């Protein structure tokens, strides 16, 4: 059977978006570790560059799994909207996956965190839908086509930062830890730095 050109374009777009999200996670870990002062005993480790390589690789894998979990779900929902033309059903299915995750895996009794996660999923789904509707094949061209100018893209990034901050703070407090938490602070700074570069690249 001949390949549907619409379907082929969509697959290329999805691949480009996922590749960018994976690269984003890798950059965040690199920036975070570059800004974090290693312990004094680190200087006495033989072949510490190899140790650093494997530690960073492990942290990248762990962060990528967490980072991509919700983004892949939101991207699937946006893909289904493009394929079906139905916006509400994919959104409800996405929220169903979130409820399943919350009930079976998260184990946090915080309605606030759940509501912020739900808001983040809506924001991500709408973002991905805008990218897919540009009909561009390259990620930066998708961003430029979806947001047109720097202030519009900056607004989206700011909204993402705000909801992610609320989620991080809610999780830390729900676990009975003290806010601000050093690792979360360093992660958030790294994310801001990576997004600033992404903004500069796009506009």
pLDDT > 70: percent of the chain: 81
pTM of the model: 0.83
Q: What is the pLDDT of residues 160-198, one digit of tens each?
A: 999 999 999 998 888 888 888 888 898 899 999 999 999
How far apart CA 61 and CA 77 sit, in angstroms, is: 24
In this predicted structure, which of 42-56, 81-95, 133-147 has the lowest mean pLDDT? 42-56
Tokens describing residue 55: 């530690």
Across the chain, mean pLDDT equals 85
Percent pLDDT > 90 in the chain is 59
Structural Rg of the chain based on CA atoms? 19
pLDDT of residue 78: 97
Higher-scoring residue by pLDDT: 157, 64? 157
pLDDT at 81 over 70: yes
What would the pLDDT profile of 27-43 be if each residue is shown by its tens digit?
888 888 776 655 544 55
- What pLDDT digit, counting tens, does each position of 101-141 carry? 887 877 777 899 999 999 999 999 999 999 999 999 999 99
With beta carbons less than 8 A apart as the criterion, state whether 133 and 87 touch: no
> 62: which 2 tokens?
């762990």
Q: Is the pLDDT of residue 151 over 90?
A: yes
Q: Peptide bond before 180: cis, by omega within 30 degrees of 0?
A: yes
Write phi, then psi, for 162 (nearest 5 degrees): -65, -45
Exposed, middle or buried, 131 (CB in 10 Å: 0-12/13-18/19+)?
Answer: buried
Q: Identify the residue whose tokens are 């079906």.
A: 84
Q: What is the pLDDT of residue 129?
A: 97
Q: Would you say the C-alpha torsion 132, 134, 139, 144 has a positive or negative sign?
A: negative
pLDDT on residue 127? 98
Residue 117 CA from chain centroid, whole number: 12
Would you say residue 1 has pLDDT above 50?
no
Widest Cα–Cα separation across the chain: 63
Q: How far apart are CA 160 and CA 55, in angstroms?
A: 28
SS3 content of the chain, % helix, strand, coil (to 5): 85, 0, 15
């Amino acid at each position: 059977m001949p390949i549907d050109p619409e379907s082929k374009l969509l697959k290329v777009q999805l691949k480009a978006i996922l590749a960018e999200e994976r690269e984003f996670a890798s950059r965040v870990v690199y920036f975070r570790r570059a800004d974090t002062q290693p312990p004094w005993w680190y200087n006495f480790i033989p072949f510490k560059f190899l140790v650093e390589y494997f530690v960073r690789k492990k942290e990248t894998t762990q962060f990528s799994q967490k980072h991509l979990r919700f983004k892949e779900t939101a991207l699937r929902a946006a893909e289904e909207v493009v394929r079906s033309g139905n916006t509400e059903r994919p959104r409800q299915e996405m929220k169903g996956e979130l409820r399943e995750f919350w009930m079976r895996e998260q184990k946090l009794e915080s309605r606030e965190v759940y509501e912020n996660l739900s808001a983040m999923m809506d924001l991500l789904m709408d973002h991905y839908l805008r990218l897919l509707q540009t009909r561009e094949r390259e990620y930066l061209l998708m961003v430029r086509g979806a947001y047109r100018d720097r202030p519009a893209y900056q607004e989206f990034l700011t909204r993402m930062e705000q909801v992610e901050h609320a989620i991080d703070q809610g999780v830390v407090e729900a676990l009975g830890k003290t806010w601000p938490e050093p690792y979360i602070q360093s992660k958030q700074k790294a994310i801001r730095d990576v997004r600033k570069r992404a903004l500069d690249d796009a506009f």
